[in-house]
Each structure stands twice: as structure tokens, then as C-alpha cells.
Amino acid sequence: MSAGIASSGTASAAGTRATAPLLEARAVHTYYGASHIVRGVDLAIGPGETVGLMGRNGMGKTTLIRSLIGLTPIKRGSVAVGGTDVTGFAASRIARLGVSYVPEGRGIFASLSVRENLTLAARPGVDGERAWTLERVLTVFPRLAERIGNGGDQLSGGEQQMLSIGRALMTNPRLIVLDEATEGLAPLVRAEIWRTLALIRAGGTATLIVDKTVSAMAEACDRILVLVKGTVAFEGPPATLVADAEAMQRHLGV
Ligand SMILES: Nc1ncnc2c1ncn2[C@@H]1O[C@H](COP(=O)(O)OP(=O)(O)OP(=O)(O)O)[C@@H](O)[C@H]1O
Ligand SMILES: [Mg+2]
């Protein structure tokens, strides 16, 4: 794909060519000061595809996804969303192209109610549609319906995570990027989050999921990438990764 079609504005970006990946990163390098963290990562996500990003602590997963969505500047390489070159774009501009982020540690507004958190996030998708409404999000997360008037700071960890995912859905994204959405949660709550991600997948919204639970990732993802020291050490279907005991032990420690 040519980068020359870039920056023709959001209207034409919305009219995505059918062949363009939803997100395409090429040879991305990211540094924190002198520390070279992301080292030449290529990554493409097709419309509706669920891609998993795995790897041990500190391998650069969060840095990579922040690089893709404009929160951490990249030093070299390129990132395109729906065929539009977004390299160097501010995160808010990338978000408006239909990329929604559920950060590690959630990022909800503690002083606002569940309802306010959700309605403030609401906007139509790049196609102008509002497939996700407050009602639909509350149907997916009945617990949020029960807590609708509670403040963000009155929610359990699991409920905060649900609210964070609910906020992402309210933006009617084409791609949701989730960083460790199930970390630190009780098993039943984790199961609820995975059920929701399965619903999102079935609904045709693409997701990039960072998580360390191999069994859940194998079920949830179409494809998995494993990051080792900022480079892609494995890319392929979950079954191929799981079948490779040596790679599992070496790259994931399981
Ligand atoms: N803001 C920062 N400034 C400097 N170094 C950072 C910063 N954030 C992360 N790092 C370092 O960059 C490396 C990659 O961190 P990153 O958070 O991307 O890893 P990760 O794969 O997401 O790890 P985890 O599984 O623990 O979330 C680590 O060595 C980390 O200490
Ligand atoms: Mg991380």
C-alpha cells in the first residue's frame, strides 16, 4: 500500500478501500530516551479480525500499542489506519478514525457516574452509524445497568473494567485496543469480560487484545503475535503457538 494517499482528510478516510487493512504498522521503532523498546514491528489487522499480543512482562506490549494509537511517538516506521497514513498524528485524531483504547488501569472518570462516563464517550462511528447505544451497552453489561447512578470511584475493579470497555463501545469503533483487560480480576469477572469480547468479535468489530491468559487468548483470537524484547518472535494462529511447547516455555514461561 502506498503512503502517498495519506492525509486526504477524514471524509475519504472513512471510504476505506476494501483491500486496506484496518490498521497497518510497518517497521515501527519506539524509544524511551536512549532505551530502544519497540524494534522494528510489522503488524496488520484486517476488518473484524481479533489479534492477540502476548509476551512476558516488560517486552514492550504496552509501548507498541501506545505507539500504534499515537500516545507514544514512534522514532521510525509508519502506521496507517484504514489506508490513511497516521504516522505522527495526535492520539485524538487517530481515535476519530475509529480506533478506541481501553488502557491498562482502565482510565474511567472517578468523579462521574456510570451513565455520565458512558454518555460522554458517545459518538457515531466513522460510517456515521450508532450501532452501540447506551441501551445496548447496558444490555451487554447488566452490572453497569445496576450501577448506573454510581460514581466511577464506587465500582469494583471488574465493574470499572466493564465501564472502560463500555466507554470504548460507545465511540462505535472499527478497532478496539485492550491492554490487560482481565488482569487482577476474579475468575468470574474475567469470564464475563471474555464473554463480552466474544460478543464484540461476533459483531464484526476488530480488536487488538493484550493479555497473558493463554487459554482464553487461544479461544478469543484469530491470530497471535508474541513480542520478545520489542520484536515479533511468533506470529500465527493460536493453535500453532499452543502446540509449540518449547516456544510457549521460552517466550511466555508457561
Ligand atoms: N514511560 C516510560 N519511560 C521509560 N521506560 C519505560 C516507560 N514505560 C515503559 N518503560 C520500559 O519499557 C519496557 C517495556 O515496557 P512495556 O510497558 O511496554 O512492557 P509490557 O510488555 O507492556 O509489560 P507488562 O506485561 O508488564 O505490562 C520496560 O523495560 C519498561 O520498564
Ligand atoms: Mg503492559
Cα–Cα dist 71/88, whole Å = 10
Q: Tell me whether residue 112 is exposed, middle or buried, using C-beta atoms within 10 angstroms of its C-beta: 0 to 12, 13 to 18, 19 or more.
A: middle
Strands 76-81 and 35-45: unpaired
Cα–Cα dist 103/179, whole Å = 5
Cα–Cα dist 98/95, whole Å = 5
Residue whose cell numbers read 491492554:
179
For the chain, 254 residues long, the average pLDDT of each consecutive 10-residue run is 38 50 97 97 97 97 97 98 96 96 85 96 94 95 96 92 95 96 91 94 96 95 97 96 90 88
Q: How far is the CA of 60 from the centre of ligand 1 (A)?
A: 6
Substitution candidate for ligand 1 out of 29, 37, 214 with most atoms within 8 A of CB? 37
| Ramachandran quadrant class, 233 (left: phi over 0; alpha: psi -120 to 50; beta: rest) | alpha
pTM of the model: 0.90
Which pLDDT does position 15 carry in this prediction?
46
CATH of 3-252, one of 3.40.50.150, 3.40.50.2000, 3.40.50.300, 3.10.20.30: 3.40.50.300
